[in-house]
A and B are shown apart, each in its own frame.
Chain A
């Protein structure tokens, strides 16, 4: 199906829409009223069919907007459906989660942040707000800014009793195996409650949001050229992908194209990032199944890649090398020979590692047929990246909607059909080799010229930028009103859609297989949890000092309430 056919399809629902606009080659904006939203979404997902990316909730002046972003990967087109909710007092929308499980989390998030009520939602619990956050206070509404400016904190507002038992969400009496909030498997805080029958997992409940930094809210208070440094801090590993996706969006609004050399430098950094991220995953996966030798070896092979990144950008992570209109640091010509030599070495080692993994009979026994995510489930949960490619869905933003210099390079999208953990491992390993190949080609082809052009004004408008991060598609939506700050900046990291797919891949598995299944999507919680403006104590986070003070106060108060040190074990929710 090409652009023409897509347009024909879309014109079938013209009656329910207010407008259809095409702002750029690959960007289509539809708009409709709230009452038609359900039917239009159903049509877009089931009849066109499109891949659901994310939804953005916006507090516009006179109404609430919810923008559903869809992607049409065959031609790399992003279709945005704007839904206007005119009733500001009692905003309501029909939930699309019943037919599109991928939308379950984002609807909960929008409900938390904007107070839009999604009717018929299967599971309208809080997703990211703390349990003791006061009800009826919605952080992403614009009126909140004024409140914060007046020194509003969670403490000063009237606080209701927590609406749900704080941590355990599975009913008491069912045998559960808690994985988290702190667990040796996980580097970050998240909480999986596995309902088990012997060794078999019968249900899984996920709880995230132990660590919010309010990136989207902070982004609205920064200038366009400051935001890349903020979003590179969403996640240390994806610290090239997020800024790249963001500048793609802003450059789309401004209508500028970065110089050729900048496009190549961006590509090289993004691919080096993918190499080190995938090698990191191989190591961790080895660790999770008790194969510590693989863990240490993979991380050793990864080290030269980090050294290269440090040599180019000055940092092993958090490169901060992308800016609107180009790049900040150039790749000096004299390190090119060294880069090629190091990459050869990385390639050799990765080949060895790949061969070792593919030939190991125990690994086959351990990973094949484990944690299978079927193609149908992969589509319903709208997963991306290696998780999708391991389930036979050949999507890759680098090929579908090329950015940076990907269109100039010769490479393959790696796809495996089986959908099990082994398939995902194969995808990642082979992708690492592809990335090495691409990086070498890009380094050799590196064109001469400037690395940035000056961008003075960001005109009013909106743009969608996405990029292929190591874990999948990272998507940024930016809206500008012509000022020097984005008025809305939505970030969707790949783990936000990959993590909910655990419900499809973990149930019916052995406990022993769940950990590696959880790890197989390479979940990144710091990416998933980048929103809201609360820390675990429910304070508005303004600066470090205030947080520290609040934390001390809270500890002191808890000590008093509990009669320190009489912490009881059942408080820890073990059984």
Chain B
């Protein structure tokens, strides 16, 4: 009796939904505040993201008449469920790595695609020309960054000696090698694209499409998308920390060390966001396929050479 209750508690409260959402909203406040400071603005108060969500929850939900109602309304929930599962999984690896097998890197890759898929489904069901353009951009973007991302994980798998269990990967830090660093940098840019941050925010591009993908969403449904984004802001950097930087809470290391790593990734994301203009979708595709593709092919080769010669730094 207590075991299922315990699992439910873990998913819904700690370290699952409530904890992650709270953390995610704080992280989104950090993004807004740091961006504001970079731009010489004052920025919002700490609780602004919470107020935003609360306000949206109290608003009316409008569904366009021509929209495919079920898909339009279900999509945000699917996306939220996906990231929630991902973040719970990552937290368990961070806090109780040895307890039981909770998932490997391949499961994580699948779960990370879910939010984008849900977005694509939801916005294409909304029957808006702006959302249609946003959807087509999001699809192309997903196709562009998935390949480099998978290749980056191949580098990690090679570096960690063929491990695919996240808990096992988290015990090593591939970022401390040449190929691992390359893979980390590319994954960081993929995370930027997954978060929909500048320079890869063309799918919502406010000044072109008036928020594109999210155009028709309002009220609680929009709040769910916002929550999903907030959780992604926790889960994706955490994933990078787990895979590349030796995990969040490695044995023997204080908690502050893990938090430091997470904040480092978050700050990198914010800085990239604030020092670039938005690129066009064709430019993004070229960037991910050609430049990132070549860099990662090189990284894979380096990692294999390093493995066979025993040079761990390569």
Q: What CA separation (Å) do A568 and B65 show in the bound complex?
A: 9
Contact of A574 among B41, B129, B136, B208 (CB under 8 A): B129
- CB-based contact B283/A177 at 8 Å: no
A289-B277 contact in complex given A177-B130, A184-B210, A574-B64, C-beta closer than 8 Å: yes
Nearest residue, chain B, Cβ from A300: B40
Shortest beta-carbon distance from B95 to chain A in Å: 37
- CB-based contact A198/B41 at 8 Å: no
- CB-based contact B136/A199 at 8 Å: yes
- CB-based contact B280/A292 at 8 Å: no
Binds B, one of A55-63, A65-73, A129-137, A511-519: A511-519
Q: Which residues of A contact B283 (CB under 8 A)?
A: 365-366
Residues of chain B from 142 to 182 with CB closer than 8 A to chain A in the complex: none
Q: Which residues of A contact B205 (CB under 8 A)?
A: 290, 512
Residue interface mask A277-299, B partner, CB < 8 A = 1: 00000000011111111111100
- CB-based contact B201/A290 at 8 Å: yes
Contact of A296 among B41, B65, B136 (CB under 8 A): B41
- Number of chain A residues close to chain B: CB under 8 A: 39
- CB-based contact B40/A570 at 8 Å: no
B223 within 8 A of A: no
Q: Which residues of A contact B210 (CB under 8 A)?
A: 183-184
With most chain B CB atoms within 10 A of its CB, the pick from A178, A360, A366, A514 is A366
Shortest beta-carbon distance from B312 to chain A in Å: 34
B255 within 8 A of A: no
A175 within 8 A of B: yes
Shortest beta-carbon distance from A190 to chain B in Å: 15
Q: What CA separation (Å) do A575 and B131 show in the bound complex?
A: 11
Q: What CA separation (Å) do A175 and B275 show in the bound complex?
A: 35
Interface size range on B against A: 20 to 34
Residue interface mask A121-141, B partner, CB < 8 A = 1: 000000000000000000000
- CB-based contact A293/B38 at 8 Å: yes
Residues of chain A from 286 to 328 with CB closer than 8 A to chain B in the complex: 286-297, 300
B263 within 8 A of A: no
- CB-based contact B133/A511 at 8 Å: yes
- CB-based contact A185/B208 at 8 Å: yes
Residue interface mask B12-53, A partner, CB < 8 A = 1: 000000000000000000000001001111000000000000
A569 within 8 A of B: yes
B281 within 8 A of A: yes
- CB-based contact B40/A291 at 8 Å: no
Q: Which residues of A contact B108 (CB under 8 A)?
A: none
Q: Which residues of A contact B41 (CB under 8 A)?
A: 296
- CB-based contact A296/B39 at 8 Å: yes
Q: What CA separation (Å) do A138 and B229 show in the bound complex?
A: 55
Residue interface mask B259-292, A partner, CB < 8 A = 1: 0000000000000001111111111000000000
- CB-based contact B201/A513 at 8 Å: no
Residues of chain A from 543 to 571 with CB closer than 8 A to chain B in the complex: 568-570
A510 within 8 A of B: yes
Q: What CA separation (Å) do A153 and B153 show in the bound complex?
A: 72
Q: What CA separation (Å) do A173 and B41 show in the bound complex?
A: 45
Contact of A290 among B38, B66, B130, B278 (CB under 8 A): B278
B128 within 8 A of A: yes
- CB-based contact B281/A290 at 8 Å: no
Residue interface mask B190-230, A partner, CB < 8 A = 1: 00000000110110011111100000000000000000000
Q: What CA separation (Å) do A291 and B278 show in the bound complex?
A: 7
Q: Which residues of B contact A196 (CB under 8 A)?
A: 133
A362 within 8 A of B: yes
Q: Which residues of A contact B38 (CB under 8 A)?
A: 293
| 9 tightest A-B CB contacts, nearest first | A290-B278, A296-B39, A291-B277, A289-B277, A512-B280, A288-B207, A515-B208, A185-B207, A290-B198
| Listed A/B pairs (16) with beta-carbon separation below 8 Å | A184-B210, A289-B278, A293-B39, A362-B276, A363-B277, A366-B277, A511-B209, A512-B280, A514-B208, A569-B65, A569-B66, A570-B65, A574-B64, A575-B127, A575-B128, A575-B129
Chain A: residues with CB nearer than 8 A to chain B? 175-178, 183-185, 196, 198-199, 286-297, 300, 360, 362-363, 365-366, 510-515, 568-570, 574-575
Known: A184-B207, A569-B65. 19 other contacts (CB 8 A): A184-B210, A185-B207, A196-B133, A199-B133, A288-B207, A288-B208, A289-B277, A290-B199, A294-B277, A296-B40, A297-B40, A300-B40, A360-B277, A365-B279, A366-B283, A511-B209, A515-B208, A574-B127, A575-B129
